[in-house]
A and B are shown apart, each in its own frame.
Chain A
Amino acid sequence: MWQYVFKRLLLMIPTVIGAAFVIFFLLRAMPGDVCELKLGGEGAYVDEAQITLCREQLGLDDPLAVQFADFVWGIATLDFGTSMITGRAITYEMGLRFELSLQVAIMATIVAIMISIPLGTLSAVYQNTWIDYIVRTVAIAGIAIPSFWLGILILLALLSISEAMTGTRWTPPLDYVPIWEDPVYNLSMLIWPAVATGYRYSAVATRMTRSSLLEVLREDYVRTARAKGLVEKIIINRHALKNALLPVVTVIGIEFAFLMGGLVVTEQVFNLNGLGNLLVQSVTSVDYTMTQGIVMVIVLVFVITNFFVDILYAWLDPRIRYS
């Protein structure tokens, strides 16, 4: 087992370097120049000398190989440099937003797991009954409804319910406070986007749980368990679910990493200052260092999540553990 963990850890290094390579060169293939944008904005005249000076300051005149080496070294030391636009340290710019995005992603995952595994199991066990139909309808709706729209509905519902109950309208707070400083305040702000995204997320996982469990329930070893005279609860929990969860864990892992940078529109709806927003801003202003930094953080989250998913695999399935 430890050997497996160690091997997986080692594998993370080439993955991260490969991702860094792709991001670095793709960004530089993108049209637009940060110095022209920064100094001249849209179409204004800028002195050629000034642009050269700006590029020099930002290190853009160094050979690409040197820039790349700087970048990779930065990843290794978790220092992504400074923003080409604002000049502030990227780690500083990302700090709070990362915290916020991470918290929303974790909360959404918890919401999704709490919904999807019980519902998916019920749906599979009671296949083609009204329970199954209801669960499937809820799941299809979750896939069909964009989470930003669900977010708007939640906000509207909060407004009208609070008005009906207390007479004053209540909206979630807008300024982010870390959870350890004021948990109630923090949760009253972030629970709504977590529910809105968690619902869509759970829909995918519910369907995966259902189909995976249905497949496993037809396996020979489930028949063996029945022939042993075990009660249905043990057959489902001990024999079927543990086997059925492998693909579900994969889906949850991928979705989790996606939530870290992919919530641009939902962040707008709830007025959250998350990573998604920052990423879009930095791409439009051709801020190489900032974009690289954010994407690399997302890549790291992906890689680390995948690592944990693989560990979970090994825990669930001894055939992986021992190979």
Chain B
Amino acid sequence: MTKLLEIRDLKTQFFTSAGVVRAVDGITYDVAPGETVAVVGESGCGKSVSAMSILRLIPDPPGRIVAGSIMFDGKDLLALSEAEMREVRGRDIGMIFQEPMTSLNPVLTIERQITETLEEHLDVSKAAARQKALEMLNLVGISDPERRLKQYPHHLSGGMRQRVMIAMALACGPKLIIADEPTTALDVTIQAQILELMKELTRKLGVALIIITHNLGVVARYADRVNVMYAGRIIESGDAVQIYHNPKHPYTLALLRSVPRMDQARGQKLRPVSGQPPDLTKLDEGCAFRPRCDFATEQCARAAPALEEVEPGHISACWEKAKVGLVEAVG
């Protein structure tokens, strides 16, 4: 199958007074047309930076994409001029951000904020843009869209604002949507609604989706494929079933143990991942997870393991990956 997005060995670094932060340290993954890919990891593991890198929205200075390639629909995004990149943003790739409260401009009407994308990318009249904005609001399930168009973001609840964000991202008919923690700031009930909506719309419109989250529940229900990130690298990748039921990396395992599961015995305690995420300015040649890892051996300090296949479509970067599953079966 031809890929829509191919990220190869992407490295994004921040040059700060405290040193070079290797926020994204050589990640590689693909997204097929219409596929939903989840990128999972704890705060500060580089998942948002990797997403912002795709759109080249990393603030420079201090950030810079230092290596790798991002092929999107046959174009190398890293080789495009700024003007060509603007054509991709908003038209071919839509983005939904974490904070619906602050991601919409408080002084512009909903109409203005949806139509400006259309006017920028598609050669449409004002009336046609307005019509399209109405359709989009209908599509994302906002009632009374005529009235909503005239309103400002502060008139809308968090869930509605996120629907508006989705409408904006989908307005120009993109091939890919990047959703950076789209539900983190919302109530749990609203979270489910928004995720259902995104799943439904991307399926219906055939749009690929990269969903960035730290919520494994989201992953299980909505993703075709899961990339688990730790300290700027992908340390395990597989389809949702493989990751959920047969994790082959101690970090994935630890993450799964830290969230409640329906199939878990009652009264069993949750186990948080011990220790702190590493300082990304001070990574050595060894495995970044080893200070927190139950499986760590001497070899882990000598060299970081490469991603290797454990079963078809399932890769893991761990020297002890063979042991990980066994322990899970016991524990």
Q: Chain A residues near B88: list those with CB within 8 A.
A: 229
Considering only CB atoms, which chain B residue lies closest to A230 in the complex? B120
Inter-chain contact A229/B91, CB cutoff 8 Å:
yes
A239 to B152, CA, bound (A): 14
- Measured between beta carbons, the chain B residues less than 8 angstroms from A238 are 108, 112, 116
Residues of A within 8 A of B43 (CB): none
Counting chain A CB atoms within 10 Å of each CB, which of B55, B107, B121 scores highest?
B107
Residues on the B chain within 8 Å of A234, using CB: 116, 120
Decide: A223 and B106 in contact? CB cutoff 8 A. Answer: no
Given A242-B107, A318-B107, check contact A220 B99 (CB 8 Å). yes
| Cβ contact of B105, chosen from A221, A226, A227, A322, cutoff 8 A | A221
What residues of B have a CB within 8 angstroms of the CB of A318 in the complex?
106-107, 152, 154
B208 to chain A, nearest CB (A): 16
List of A residues within 8 angstroms of B108 by Cβ: 238-239, 242
Please tell me if the beta carbons of B116 and A231 are within 8 angstroms of each other in the complex: no
Q: Does A163 contact B (CB under 8 A)?
A: no
Query: A-facing mask of B56-93, CB < 8 A → 1, else 0?
Result: 01000000000000000000000000000111111100
Give the chain A neighbours of B155 by CB distance below 8 A. 322
- Within 198-254 of A, Cβ neighbours of B (below 8 Å) are at 219-221, 223-231, 234, 238-239, 242-243
Say yes or no: A229-B154 contact (C-beta < 8 A), given A220-B103, A223-B57, A224-B104.
no
Query: Which B residue sits closest to A228, measured CB to CB?
Result: B90
Known A220-B97, A318-B152, A319-B154; contact A229-B105, beta-carbon cutoff 8 A: no
Among candidates B55, B85, B90, B102, residue contacting A220 with C-beta atoms closer than 8 Å: B102
CB-based contact A243/B107 at 8 Å: yes
Is there contact, CB below 8 Å, between B120 and A221?
no
Contact, CB under 8 Å: A221 / B104:
yes
Q: Does A317 contact B (CB under 8 A)?
A: yes
Interface of A is mostly: helix
Counting CB contacts under 8 A, is B219 at the interface? no
Interface size counted on chain A using CB atoms at 8 A: 22
**B120 A226 Cβ-Cβ under 8 A:** no
Residue of chain B at shortest CB distance from A243: B107
Report the separation of the CA atoms of residues A234 and B86 in the bound assembly, to the nearest whole angstrom.
Answer: 13
Please report the C-alpha to C-alpha distance between residue A55 and residue B2 in the assembled complex, in whole angstroms.
100
CB contacts (< 8 Å) of B105 on chain A: these are 221, 224-225, 239, 243
Interface status of A316 (Cβ within 8 A of chain B)? yes
Q: Are B99 and A228 in contact (CB under 8 A)?
A: no
Question: Within the complex, what minimum Cβ distance (angstroms) separates B169 from chain A?
Answer: 8
Contacts A228-B117, A230-B116, A243-B105 hold; do A319 and B152 have CB atoms under 8 A apart? yes
A-B contact pairs, 27 of them (CB 8 A): A219-B102, A220-B103, A221-B106, A224-B97, A225-B105, A226-B57, A227-B97, A228-B116, A229-B86, A229-B87, A229-B90, A229-B117, A229-B120, A231-B86, A234-B116, A238-B112, A239-B105, A242-B108, A243-B105, A243-B106, A316-B107, A317-B107, A318-B107, A318-B152, A318-B154, A319-B154, A322-B152
List chain A positions with a Cβ less than 8 A from chain B. Answer: 219-221, 223-231, 234, 238-239, 242-243, 316-319, 322
The 7 closest A-B pairs by CB, nearest first: A229-B89, A229-B90, A228-B90, A220-B102, A227-B95, A221-B105, A229-B86
Other A-B pairs, 4, CB within 8 Å; known A220-B99, A224-B104: A221-B103, A224-B95, A229-B117, A238-B108
